[in-house]
Amino acid sequence: MASVSVVTHPAHRGRGAGTAVVSALAQWLLAEGLVPHYQTLHSNVPAVAAARHLGFVQTARTLSVRLRGVPMEGGRDA
């Protein structure tokens, strides 16, 4: 199994670039005998739509929590 993810610069979103990159990477991984694993936030509707378009299916859901008063990365408080 190999983790697949992509971050598209805001100025280039909505043009299919991220989907094209994930598609090419997933095809390469499959050719190498690996199973691509795509992970994104459920609230990231465009990323979920792209993954479904490429044939990925939801197999799990993860719950993340942030404790009040515990600093986040970058030093900001929650």
pLDDT tens, the chain, 78 aa long: 999 888 999 999 999 999 999 999 999 999 999 999 999 988 899 999 999 999 999 998 888 888 888 887 665 554
Indicate the pairing of strand 2-4 with strand 36-38.
parallel
Domain that holds residue 39: 2-75
Q: Are 25 and 4 in contact (CB under 8 A)?
A: yes
Number of structural domains in the chain: 1
pLDDT score recorded for residue 68: 85
pLDDT score recorded for residue 78: 47
Q: Which amino acid is at 25?
A: L
